[in-house]
Structure 1
Amino acid sequence: MTAEAFDSSRAQILDRLDRAYARAAGASITEGNSVRMLLDSQGNFPAWLAAINGAQRYILFESYIFANDAIGRQFIEALAEKARSGVRVHVLYDWFGSHWSRSMWRGLVAAGANVRSFNPPSFDTPLSWLTRDHRKSIVVDGRIGFVSGLCVSSKWQGDSTKRLEAWRDTGIEILGPAVHDLEHAFGQVWTAAGGAQFEIVAKPHPRAGTVRLRVIAGVPNAAGTYRLDLLVASIAREHLWLTDAYFIATAAYTQALSAAARDGVDVRLLVPGASDVPAVSPLSRAGYRPLLEAGVRVFEWNGTMLHAKTAVADRLWARVGSTNLNLASWMANYELDVAVEDDQFAEVMADQYERDLANATEIILTPRNRVQRTDPKGIAAADEHPGNPRRAIAGSAGRAAAGAVSVGSALGAALTNRRKLGPAEAGLLTTMSAFTVVIALIAALWPRVLAWPIAALAIWFGVAWGIKAFSLWRARGARHRQRKAERARLGVGGPRV
């Protein structure tokens, strides 16, 4: 093969790979950017505030959680100050994630900011609360943008008086044309939250560097990030290093990681040692065994909370954002991630991953085929020491939904024998067995205890469906009348003369 033919063949392969990425993620490549990794609250919060304080025209701020605490109030005051100075401020928060913080918006609205809540409860859509706006992004003047896993809360800073360490999390700062993609992503959810079309107020910014990246704006039922994660697991050649806060993988993703490991890829998974959502930890651990048996290395973070959602493949590709490796993020929520195709940035991410492993405990299969936490230095697990950091407690509707799916998977496997259950699922099955027996006894002895709640739910769902049907019929009638009036205006369909 001649050099020209080789170059042509290589170009075709790269083009096909680029098309595969674009089709999987639903996001095209954007070139000419500059990207900087921001570590934890110490790296992210000051950078966010500096950008806000330097705003001249507009600020777009979207976060799942705006906590009514010192950090939340600091950001609210900074945004209010810019709004009072004439800067257009748009803030979008998730109703569920920030439902304890609604009182603090009055001052910001009074200052002139436009604030919207995503998906508050609605009587006519009883299960709509399962879809959340889990994105975390900031855009200032179309010039600079931020995407991260961090929310606006003091939890990310920790509390030394309560022995709570700062949470481990990762974000990025973006300069260049991709900032325009972040604006479009913000407008997508802004419109979903309020109905009015969001106006994109800036043209794409000039090139700021050489970094190629994709802004992956995940929406419910699209599964773009899920397809991308499966694709990356399939094409990684040397290593795939994952960090995730709420790992509850699907069978397909577990198989993809296992296949990569069996093929010689260095696959590693770093997850929290103890989650701020206690129900997640046993569900995550239930998925360790098939990964360990395939050769995937699993690590648990020793600090207070690991909240980052990142991936690094072959030191060439990296992903940072809000998407967790579970069905709630992949399928149910609005999420925002950035996939960076740049070897220098991927190298930075890989180096940080190795530093993170220094504060993690590896999970192994013992000679007796048991899943066990271990430490090569012989030190006991971090949560066994009374002086070690405590775990923060919080919750999430999306993670609850992902947990429910995992529970359903285990229960289904127990009934159908469609997959091998691991010892980590024994506790889950015991709990569900006891719960089911108790429900059966209540139904047999006191049937009204169950009948009344079921009747109430049936009435609620029936009325909700009726309201939805009425609105659809009314919309259909309005369209029919509009078409009829249009035909009459044009003289179509009238009597012949």
Structure 2
Amino acid sequence: MIAFLKSNIWIIIIAINYVLVISAATTILFKNINPTKTLSYILVLVVFPFLGLIVYYFFGQEYRKNKIFNRKNVLNEKVVQKLGNEFRLSPSQLHKLDVFLDSKMKMVKLMNNNKNTPVTLKNELLIVKNGKEKFKLLFEDLRNAEHHIHLEYYILKDDHIGKELIDIICEKALQGVEVRLTFDDVGSKISFKTKRQLKKSGVEFYAFMPVLFPNFTGKMNYRNHRKIAIIDGKIGYIGGINVSDCYVNYKNGTSYWRDTHLRIVGEALKPLQVHFLMTWDFVSNSSCDISSELFPDVHVDTTKAVQIVASGPDTDWANIMEAMLVAINTANDYVYVTTPYFIPNDEIVTALQIAAKSGVDVRMLIPKSSDSWMAKHATNSYLERLLEAQVKVYRYTKGFIHAKTMVVDDLFSTIGTSNLDHRSFNINFEINALIYNEETSLELKDHFLTDLEDSEELSLERWMDRPKYNKLKESYARLWSPLL
């Protein structure tokens, strides 16, 4: 028997592999997920023995609400309900907004069906261009904090800029300010020394879904990609800028990093606070006391309508993707999109194609050089379809553009954490600010057009002439696109 096993060991191992493959493929089929994604997983399982099982083990298992996230959304429902009632628009307010927004009201109504997405009217907004400007403003606001500081980041590193932030919040914690910090355990890198400093100073901090063995399985797939800062419930930040030196262009000789963030003062802070607290409940496995100091009234005279929209594996709907689809489908004049990663679903591609073919000026700005080989070539595999439909595609050449923005018809714009890719729409936890304001939209439009000056426009003829070797790399990366 032993001799038989030794002489047929590889056959036995391969047989065991395919027994497990059949089991995994059957599980995938019964989930009734997107057919493209289903076929991609099955193809990987069948073609790549052992490797396919590892990929599925770490990335393919679907936990969502019923397992990992059954503790998320445990925030007191009365708080959420009270918040929705507080910002429910009167018929006269709704009429005024309807007259201004016209077809964009579909988006307001769509998002209003989500109880955590009320439209807020009284807000002051500041578009923050690049990391140096963001951290200059943020650090000043942090130093002026009196009651609490809430920080939630995908990437937090204790490098030069990260150490400066950590020193500030530790100092504020020692002064008696309540400091709560959560960071994604995959995206972040913090030393034990820094963690001791945080703990000694009284900063409460938790990693989002730690990936230490034995709880590693499946958790690579559900990351907290949000970047949120809230000071005293009065000032908030949301956008694409994480806490790392690359975002502030500290290192000479490295690629220039272009990004966009948003500073908010006003009513939109209350929904933003709710989303932070829901995450905090999840990572800490205990809720903090919901006091009036967390939801202060902020008196702002400026009228700028904002909805804070979140999506992730714990939401019933792909809220951010749906908002973007409605924005594209209702565009009359133009759609300007900036995204560092464009690995979309068919719905987004079709919407962009239809808009462009019906006369809407559709422009997309992506980086020429990417921080991910696979993402770069997967993105390139979608460009020909866009160019054929007369979508204007630009590639940023000054460095790496990481901003995640969209502006439509001088009426609507969005700044947030969501890329136009499958991972942002369906897997990661994301958050965006939907802005219904002409002044803000025009400013973001101006930023977009300025960025085009540091970009190259692709032509269909030139793109189709690219080397076959590049096309082969794109086709290979495209196979993995539902998994990226």
Conservation of the 8 A alpha-carbon contact between 2:380 and 2:474: no
Work out whether 1:241 is the aligned partner of 2:287.
no
Deviates more, 1:91-100 or 1:235-244: 91-100
| TM-score normalised by structure 1 residue count | 0.71
The answer on 1:426 being equivalent to 2:468 is no
Q: How much does 1:13 deviate?
A: 6.9
For the 8 Å contact 2:106–2:326, the answer to whether it is kept is no
Q: Is the 8 A contact 1:143 1:176 kept in 2?
A: yes
The Cα shift of 1:425 comes to: 4.4
Q: Indicate how the Cα distance of structure 1 residues 431 and 211 shifts in structure 2: closer, same or farther if over 3 A, else same.
A: closer
**Residue number in structure 2 paired with 1:362:** 457
SS state at 2:336 partner: strand
Deviation per CA, 1:105-159: give whole Å up to 9, x if none. 2101110110110001263561122101110011001111111200011111224
* Residue identity opposite 2:424 in structure 1: S
Report the CA distance shift for 1:102/1:357 in structure 2 as closer, same or farther (over 3 A).
farther
TM superposition shift of 1:233: 1.1
Q: Deviations over 1:179-238 (max 9, x none)?
A: 111111111111121211133442342331211000012222531101111111110110
Shift in alpha-carbon separation, 1:58–1:323, aligned structure 2, 3 A: same
Distance 1:372 1:328 in 2: 28
Counterpart of 1:96 in structure 2 is 186
Stretches of structure 1 lacking an aligned partner (at least 5 in a row): 1-6, 374-421, 434-497
Verify the 8 A CA contact 1:26 1:224 in the aligned structure 2.
Answer: no
Distance 1:34 1:424 in 2: 46
Aligned counterparts of 2:360 and 2:159: Cα–Cα separation in 1: 44
Aligned to 1:73: 163
Distance of aligned partners of 1:168 and 1:371 in 2 relative to their CA distance in 1, 3 Å threshold: farther
TM-score by length of 2: 0.73
1:477-488 superposed matches below 5 A: none
Structure 2 equivalent of residue 118 of structure 1: 208
**Unaligned 5+ residue runs, structure 2?**
1-94, 480-484
Cα distance between partner residues in 1 of 2:475 and 2:373: 17
Instruction: Say if 2:128 and 2:134, in contact at 8 Å, map to a contact too.
Output: yes
Distance in 2 of aligned mates of 1:141 and 1:22 = 26
Other-structure match for 1:206:
298
SS at match of 2:224: coil
Relative to structure 1, the CA distance from residue 13 to residue 306 in structure 2 (aligned partners, 3 Å threshold; closer, same or farther) is closer
CA, structure 1 residues 206+370, in 2 after alignment: closer, same or farther (shift >3 Å)?
same
Task: Tell me whether 1:216 sits opposite 2:309 in the alignment.
Answer: yes
Deviates more, 1:237-246 or 1:95-104: 95-104
Aligned equivalent of 1:329 = 424
Provide the C-alpha distance between the structure 2 equivalents of 1:278 and 1:184, rounded to a whole number of angstroms.
36
Matched, 1:52 2:154: no
Q: Distance in 2 between matches of 1:299 and 1:26?
A: 35
Structure 2 letter corresponding to 1:364: S
**Structure 1 counterpart SS, 2:273:** helix
What amino acid does structure 2 have at the position aligned with 1:219? Answer: G
Structure 1 residues 13 and 356 mapped into 2: Cα distance closer, same or farther (>3 Å)? closer
- Cα gap change, 1:280 to 1:35, in 2 (>3 Å): same
Does the residue aligned with 1:65 lie in a helix, a strand or coil?
A: coil
Structure 1 pair 150–50 and aligned structure 2 pair: CA distance change class (3 A): same
**What's 1:455 paired with?**
none
1:303-318 to 2 correspondences below 5 Å = 303-318=398-413
Please report how far the alpha carbon of residue 285 of structure 1 lies from its aligned counterpart in structure 2 after TM superposition.
0.5
Give the counterpart letter for 1:363 in structure 2: L
Residue 182 (1) aligns with residue 276 (2): no
Q: Rg bigger for which structure?
A: 1
Provide the rounded CA distance (Å) in 2 between the counterparts of 1:59 and 1:308: 25
